[in-house]
Structure 1
Amino acid sequence: MRRFTGLVTLVASAALALTACTGGGAAAPAPSASNSGGALSGTVKFQSWSLKNETFSPYFEKLIADFEKETGVKVEWLDQPGDGYQEKVLSQAGSDTLPDVVNLPPDIAFPLVQANKLLDLNAADPSLASTYVPGAWAAYSYPGITGTFGVPWYLGTDLSWWNGTELKKYGVDTANLPTTNEQLIELAKTVGAASKGKLPVLSSMPTIDLFSSSGVPIMNDAGDFVFNTPQAAAVVDQFRDAYQAGGVPEEALTGDFGGNADGFKAGKVAYTTATSTFAGDLEKNAPTLRKGVIATPRIGLAPLFVQGVSVAANTKNKDAAIAFAKYLTNTANQVAFCKIAVGFMPGTVEGAADTKSLSDGIKDELQLKAIGIVVESMKTAKMLTPVQWTGAMKTYMDQQLALAIKGNIGSQEALDKIVQYANQNKVS
């Protein structure tokens, strides 16, 4: 499925593992008048993605009741399961039954924008732009298309997680861990050689996110993929050297590896990236290993994972739909939501900076440190993978990079093939 599916699941599973107050603070008053000055009325349908459950339902029920009381607008809450969500949304759009307000990450929103199924919210209310985290607001604008087609709701980003206990055994100064991808790959080479391959640091091949966070341009203004650069080839060359030194396990190249976070929890690799909820995951599934774990900011640019809500272009109640989208995503309601979904961040500028509210009641030092890192990272985080990048492109990229890292083809040749394939198969 698409990139954000895992994050939606993670929100739900992380929240279910915690006990939290669903009240979460007073919400800002709902708008009681439309942008055109008339009173709000009627009904709007709101669709969420796998959030109607014992953890989140009380939160939404109260939020909707408060909005209805303030505005007189009736909200019909729909929820779709996690699996098959994109297919469901595309079917709704194709049959003109898209709900008035719908939970969409930027990549699932993209084909709907291309088909003119979503409302340009920047044109509808230009004041919105200054309310939300800049990188998250920009995530709903697409190359060659004028407008912004969603408002940010809850956000996430990755941190770097290190097995400090094991790294120290091979002479690594854990007070000065890598801060660049080049340093990270060099560390993998060094530790791989020193441990004779017993402690790989890396557990995945280069990704679009890695290239992007290293400063490699991914697409040009014309919408073509252009990351087959000497800089990207040098990154692949470094991976090849690290692999040969034992710094990257064979499973990472064959696709048999269960995932870098799983490998980290099992003690098979010394480094992983994960959201701040990983602190709780470690406490539950790897408490002994957790004692020596170190959290630092994501190396290079921090990726931005965005969930938001959009308004259907054919809504029969535009003013009420926009009013509910704004109310759902205002600072008070977003902070309250993120207190339940610990580890995720509000999509408003004010909410994302509210470190005290987001960490209130948390005693665990590793979790507190992780939240602090996320708050700081959110100031510059951005979406690193273009919405045009597909699962098929990633599969082809993995195949070619595996050949390059094994030394069967050159790094530049592999990148040229990947870029050619991506440009031939992109949706324009």
Structure 2
Amino acid sequence: MRLLRRILATAATAAVLFPLSACGSGDDGSSGDASGRIEGEISFQTWNLKANFKSYFEGVIADFEKQYPGTEVKWIDQPAEGYATKLSADAAGGTLPDVVNVSPDLAAPLARAGLALDLDKDPAAAKFRDEYLPGAWASSQMPGMEGTYAFPWYLNTGPLFYNKALFKKAGLDAEQPPRTYAELFDAALEIAKRTDGKVATLANVPTIEDFGRYGVPLMNEEGTGFAFNDAKGVELLTRYKKLYDAKALDRQALTATPESSGQKFLTGAVAMNPGSALDLENFKTQAPSLYENIGITDQITTTGHVNMYVQNVMVNAQSKQKPAAVAFAHFVTNAENQMAFAKQVAIFPSTKGSLDDPYFTQEDGTDETRVRVAAAKSLKTAVNYTPVLFSDQMKTELRNEVAKALQGKQSPKEALDNAVRAADRLLQQG
């Protein structure tokens, strides 16, 4: 489950750079649309899913082949480590599978290289658009390009967990957690003050999605450059600097990973941490005392829209069996198959109406259903705040500049200016 969570959070993704020879002309690379007979052999590549979901995918493939006699699906499952590199090599070598599991940031370079089918332009694919949540469909739209380059697949989001025992220890009302950024920062400073800096509230420095949730414009309207160094972005980083100075932000936050931050929360070293329904079982088995004191509240935003993580299914624009590839990509991501998958693991369908199913709307008194119901409701209007063009290199540049600001080596404004310049430079190189 930990590895699946990494996929859901796109923590293992990396920028993929393709040589111009990958697509030749730079157009969609296709030899016609997908409006033809659904037949032939196609390849389908997933991202580290076989170990836990072998029977599910074999069943989906069998159902598809039964529905479309004359088709055959060859399933390929790649490990999480090196997945981006493998995609790059396949793209350059002309061996990219017909249907590929991608996150939005991995789809972006493939789309620019002309290897991702534009679903909006292809009649056989475009007819399915209204089956999906608008925010999910938009997750594979690229700034500066027209079109949509992958079918939405499964989504995830989650609440903000907090440790009621630590709130009580600091003299705060454990039944009234922060619900706004102002309340969050005030509570964090109060907890640090009342525990003499021994208990931090947060374990992570702000990431690009945090700037998005705070209402910072991340890119310019043309999608040609980044814009998170505006006054609101500087305001957020300035507030984090105040937390860091007061020890309300964990001292190891500058080098923290999602795993290490989760461990900090698990052991009671920090008072709050974002998560998902997947975490509750982990709390129950690994930290029973934390589970007994777990508080659950909503993600904090200024926009009214929570962040969502999304996985998509892309069709190779150069597939020799394009009708079958489009049909299978849609089949994998249709409402029935997404619902079946969601009941095997704590994820959410991207199809309209699915989140209205009783499975996602009715609580049974457990924390698990409480989280699931709340998350499903928020996903209807959720946004993938991480720009599809924001690569891992850009994330590293932002993290490095943020660290310098928190340490007082430069001002928040200087840090974000530097991060934007570096991201814009990498964007132009890509």
TM bracket (short chain): 0.7 to 0.9
**Matching residue of 1:367:** 368
**Matching residue of 1:334:** 338
**Matching residue of 1:94:** 92
2:350 is aligned, of 339, 347, 352, to: 347
Amino acid across the alignment from 2:45: Q
**Matching residue of 2:131:** 131
TM (norm. structure 1) is 0.87
Report the CA distance shift for 1:282/1:332 in structure 2 as closer, same or farther (over 3 A): same
The alignment partner of 1:172 has SS state of: coil
The question of 1:59 aligning with 2:63 is answered no
Q: Distance in 1 between matches of 2:367 and 2:113?
A: 45
CA contact (8 A) 2:45 2:101 kept: yes
CA contact (8 A) 1:186 1:242 kept: no
**Matching residue of 1:320:** 324
**Matching residue of 2:46:** 48
Per-residue CA deviations over 1:256-282 (Å, capped at 9, x if unaligned) read: 996321110011000001122111121
**Matching residue of 1:186:** 186
Q: For the aligned residues, what is the CA RMSD?
A: 2.4
The alignment partner of 2:313 has SS state of: strand
**Matching residue of 1:74:** 72
Q: Distance in 2 between matches of 1:257 and 1:319?
A: 40
Q: Distance in 1 between matches of 2:257 and 2:275?
A: 20
The alignment partner of 1:295 has SS state of: strand
The question of 1:357 aligning with 2:355 is answered no
CA contact (8 A) 1:224 1:423 kept: yes
Report the CA distance shift for 1:141/1:4 in structure 2 as closer, same or farther (over 3 A): farther
Identity fraction in percent: 34
The alignment partner of 1:76 has SS state of: strand
Amino acid across the alignment from 1:170: A
Amino acid across the alignment from 1:44: I
Report the CA distance shift for 1:378/1:85 in structure 2 as closer, same or farther (over 3 A): same
Shift of 1:290: 0.8
Amino acid across the alignment from 2:409: N
The alignment partner of 2:218 has SS state of: coil
Q: Distance in 2 between matches of 1:10 and 1:86?
A: 11
The alignment partner of 2:137 has SS state of: helix
Aligned pairs, number: 399
Give runs of aligned pairs for residues 78-227 of structure 1, distance below 5 A: 78-124=76-122, 125-222=125-222, 223-227=224-228
Amino acid across the alignment from 2:240: F
Q: Which runs of 5+ in 2 are unaligned?
A: 12-32
Shift of 1:359: 7.9
Amino acid across the alignment from 1:241: K
Amino acid across the alignment from 1:63: V
Q: Which runs of 5+ in 1 are unaligned?
A: 12-33
Shift of 1:375: 0.5
Q: Distance in 2 between matches of 1:191 and 1:8?
A: 31
Shift of 1:335: 0.6
Shift of 1:417: 1.6
Q: Distance in 2 between matches of 1:256 and 1:385?
A: 17
Shift of 1:4: 9.0
CA contact (8 A) 1:236 1:401 kept: yes
Shift of 1:345: 0.2
CA contact (8 A) 2:37 2:323 kept: no
CA contact (8 A) 2:60 2:332 kept: yes
Report the CA distance shift for 1:256/1:389 in structure 2 as closer, same or farther (over 3 A): closer
Shift of 1:286: 1.2
Shift of 1:406: 2.9
